[in-house]
Amino acid sequence: MNNFWGLPEHPQVPYYRTWQIAANDDTHMYEFIVPMVRENVI
C-alpha cells in the first residue's frame, strides 16, 4: 500500500505503454493507456 496515495502499489490492472520522450538527460515521460472496461466484456 502506498502511504502517500493510500492505493496499492500493484493494482493488477492491465495497462499499455504507448510512447516515451526524453525531457532531459535524466528524466523521461511515459504515456500509459488503461482500459476502462474489463477484458472479455465487449
DSSP string, 1-42: --TTT-S-S------EEEEEEESSSS-EEEEEE--SS-TT--
pLDDT at residue 26, rounded to an integer? 92
- Within-domain flag for 31: yes
- For the beta carbon of residue 11, count every other beta carbon within 10 angstroms: 8
Q: For the chain, what is the largest distance between any 2 Cα atoms, rounded to a whole number of angstroms?
A: 42
Domain count, the chain: 1
Please give the model's pTM, rounded to 2 decimal places: 0.46
Q: When comparing pLDDT for 3 and 40, which is higher?
A: 3
Q: When comparing pLDDT for 35 and 21, which is higher?
A: 21
- Within-domain flag for 5: no
- What is the span of the domain harbouring residue 40? 11-42
Nearest to 17 by CA among 38, 36, 31: 31
- Please check the confidence at residue 12 and state whether its pLDDT lies above 90: no
What percentage of the chain exceeds 90 in pLDDT?
29
- Within-domain flag for 19: yes
- Please check the confidence at residue 27 and state whether its pLDDT lies above 90: yes
